[in-house]
Chain A
Amino acid sequence: MAETNFPTATAYPEGAERLSEEQREAMRGEPPFAEAPPTDSRLVRALKEAGITAGLIAVLTVFFFAFKTDIAAGGLALTADPIQWIVWIAIAFVGRFVLSYLVFANDKPTVGGWKKITAATAGWPVGKVIGAILLLVALTLPFLLSTFLPSQNRYLLDLSILILTYVMLGWGLNIVVGLAGLLDLGYVAFYAVGAYSFALLATNFDLGFWVCLPMAGLFAALWGVMLGFPVLRLRGDYLAIVTLAFGEIIRVVLLNWANFTGGPNGILGIPKPTLFGLEFNRGAGSFSDFFGIPYSPIQRFIFLYYIILALALLTNFVTMRMRKLPVGRAWEALREDEIACRSLGINTVNVKLTAFATGAMFGGFAGSFFATRQGFISPESFTFIESAIILAIVVLGGLGSQLGVVIASVVMIGGIELLRNLTGLQAIFGAGFDPTEYRMLIFGLAMVLIMVWKPRGLVSTRSPSAIYKAKKKIGADLVAQGEGH
């Protein structure tokens, strides 16, 4: 007793204070005779909580699910639909039970297992291994698909092209948002500029994809600089608002400048890319004719797939190189502390402009690829939701992480597509259930869950660009701590 309650002479006075503090902590301000709260077993507690949740759902949804009004002769007819009501209550009960029993009740964090795995493989360059595997899969994907999934080959290839487009856009935006820390809500504007530059050049001057691609990139970069100039003074929320407005301005101009852009009718007949002049169609002078292989429409998709893969890899390569150059380092420093940057003699205006221009250029490349893939573009393809999705990819992936962008793109774009095909849910919710209607709801829920689970994005660790002898990873918790705004 004496040892715990009274400090020894040597530990006095700090020791005494600390001890009493510890005791107060342990009691949480309660007098020591307070009864311990009754502790149910985990199962009972989980059942109780699930029961409460189910009851709540039953009360809240009784008018929404249990009864239905239909238009009948002479007014509305009330029909009871208790089955649906009970199904929802059951879902709530089971869901809450699982959460309470498995997730909330644990004293240890649920992700402990994962932590063990990551700790065991801490010495490994996990990111590099995953990256290499993904690259290998990406490079061989068209052949894997035609070998293993010939029936859905074309659909899946098309989806992969879409995902890769977003990977590229995400990498492009990552330069602006992830590295330079400039929140850009109007990235789709550069995508649109690229697409329209290519489409207009191609249809008016009969230029091919490969000639127009760099021009489209340059145009987009130019627009990046033009946007950059007026917004350089702005930061954070204000910058976001201005870029948002810029994205909308571009779209509205495209919509209303009808004699130049075709207005809401868009631009038709955008040429397809060629392989050194070889077209992908039936007939003389085509790809299949030249190589003496039978024509198949899938060839063009494979070609498009490799184009976007090459473009995306180019974006990645340039970004990785840039990060090691002074300008890339200056981007990162700018994200951390603008005033410190200025005190080091960095021209923050130029640094911001290069970030905007570089990001915009890759957006422009992606845009012209989009135009050539679709063959038709209209302002409808460049709405704010596109910017939002690209930004979501960057944020969900973990700001500044290249691998994170890839994973987030696959999850988001692939996930949206996957939800289109969840016809299996009809078995639960009845034949009238249309999964596409709930697509955005489920999607939103998934985003919330990811942010709860990994608030700093999927890949939240960051490898320093500068390495002195040993390489060291920076953990997510530290990244979170060090946020300097």
Chain B
Amino acid sequence: MSAAQSILLASEPLLAIRGVETFYGKIQALRGVDVEVHRGEIVTLIGANGAGKSTLMMTICGNPQARAGQIVYNGKDITHLPTHDIMSMSIAQSPEGRRVFPRMTVMENLQMGAILEDDKHFEDDLKRVFTLFPRLKERRGQRGGTLSGGEQQMLAIGRALMSRPKLLLLDEPSLGLAPLVVKQIFEVIRELNANEGLTVFLVEQNAFHALRLAHRGYVMVNGAITMAGTGRELLAREEVRSAYLEGGAH
């Protein structure tokens, strides 16, 4: 990466989260979170259960909305926009727990991903998703609910990709999947990023895989960011290793 490029990247992040505080009723879930995601990056957020990772993801999507702080996407303040407006700004999300439409077929699920797009790109986008996940092509007539966990995750990512996003938000794509499948899915994410320059913000509990994949990472504890650095740096740090990589013992 040239110096000029990195300056450009540094000057204007695609997604900038500044001092965001989110509450569930009276309970504060996020305590002034600062995260930046630059164009072409894979950024991961790791942390223990209940640290607020998914809350941050949901706050980016405007559900719930941040009570303090600012979220800027592509130069626009999206902090107080309704969810459907945010999601139609070329942000796509693969939500936690995958949430494919169980009684709709794979095809219908993919169509749902492209529901805000016009039909022109549909065939191309479909081809792209089927190339990334050949398994989905085999299963295109099958209902979402009957797919295996890994296939459902592929479908959730494929569905998100159908809207031609600039920024892909992935909430725990490895949840409940076999290690081999996790590897496959992470490989696809890496490909998407390397070949198409897709920007990815990845929330993960699987710290090892996520940090190896990501350019940069953040560690969240109790609703606040405690560490930040490149994936490699974080992987090497003792605190990270002991807390998230070796059985979670402090």
Contacts and interface: CB of A to CB of B under 8 A. Distances in A.
Genuine A/B complex = yes
Interface of A: 326, 329-330, 332-333, 336-337, 339-348, 462, 464-468, 470, 472, 474, 478-479, 481-484
B107 A468 contact: yes
Interface of B: 61, 63, 82-84, 86-88, 92-95, 99-105, 107-108, 111-113, 115-116, 140-141, 143-146, 159-160, 163
A474 B95 CA distance: 26
B103 A482 contact: yes
Contacts of A340: 95, 99-101, 112
Contacts of B92: 344
A466 B115 contact: no
Contact of A344 (B82, B115, B143): B115
B101 A343 contact: no
Contact of A329 (B61, B111, B144): B111
Given A343-B61, A343-B93, A348-B84, A330 B141 contact: no
Most buried by A among B61, B84, B107: B84
B3 to A, nearest CB: 37
Nearest to A345: B87
Contacts of A465: 108
B105 A346 contact: no
Contacts of A345: 83-84, 86-88, 115-116, 163
B108 A474 contact: no
A470 B101 contact: no
Nearest to A326: B115
A344 B93 CA distance: 7
A342 B143 contact: no
Contacts of B145: 478, 481-482, 484
Contacts of B108: 329, 332, 464-466
B103 A466 contact: no
B102 A483 contact: yes
Nearest to B103: A482
A344 B159 contact: yes
Given A344-B159, A347-B82, 10 more contacts: A332-B108, A333-B112, A340-B95, A344-B113, A348-B84, A464-B141, A466-B107, A474-B105, A482-B146, A484-B101
A326 B111 CA distance: 9
A336 B93 contact: no
A326 B95 CA distance: 21
B56 to A, nearest CB: 15
A343 B95 contact: yes
A466 B103 CA distance: 12
Nearest to B62: A342
B103 A474 contact: yes
30 contacts: A326-B115, A329-B108, A329-B111, A329-B112, A332-B101, A333-B112, A336-B104, A337-B100, A337-B101, A337-B102, A340-B99, A340-B112, A343-B93, A343-B94, A344-B112, A344-B115, A345-B163, A346-B116, A464-B104, A464-B141, A465-B108, A466-B105, A466-B107, A466-B111, A468-B107, A470-B141, A474-B143, A478-B143, A479-B103, A482-B103
A330 B95 CA distance: 17
A482 B102 contact: yes
Given A343-B87, A344-B112, A345-B116, A478 B104 contact: no
Nearest to A481: B145
A481 B111 contact: no
Contacts of B83: 342-343, 345
A208 B212 CA distance: 74
A265 B189 CA distance: 70
Given A329-B111, A336-B104, A465-B108, A342 B84 contact: yes
Contact of B99 (A330, A343, A478, A479): A343
B213 to A, nearest CB: 22
Contacts of A464: 104-105, 107-108, 141
A219 to B, nearest CB: 29
A296 to B, nearest CB: 50
A464 B143 CA distance: 9
B104 A346 contact: no
A468 B109 CA distance: 12
A94 B116 CA distance: 61
A468 B140 contact: yes
B103 A483 contact: yes
A330 B107 CA distance: 14
Contacts of B94: 343
A467 B108 CA distance: 8
Nearest to A470: B141
Nearest to A335: B103
Contacts of B112: 329-330, 333, 340-341, 344
Contacts of B102: 336-337, 482-484
B178 to A, nearest CB: 17
Contacts of B87: 342-345
The 6 lowest CB-CB distance pairs between A and B, nearest first, are A345-B87, A482-B145, A340-B99, A336-B101, A347-B84, A482-B102
A326 B113 CA distance: 11
A47 to B, nearest CB: 44
Nearest to A474: B143
Nearest to B99: A340
Contacts of A326: 115
Contacts of A468: 107, 140-141
B241 to A, nearest CB: 33
A326 B122 CA distance: 13
A445 to B, nearest CB: 30
Contacts of B63: 342
A382 to B, nearest CB: 33
Nearest to A341: B112
A348 B163 CA distance: 17
B103 A462 contact: yes
A332 B104 contact: yes
Contacts of A333: 101, 104, 112, 115
A346 B107 contact: no
Contacts of B86: 345
A483 B143 CA distance: 11
A208 B102 CA distance: 47
B103 A484 contact: yes
A462 B103 CA distance: 9
A343 B104 CA distance: 17
Contacts of B100: 337, 340
Contacts of B61: 342-343
Contact of B146 (A337, A344, A346, A481): A481
A407 to B, nearest CB: 21
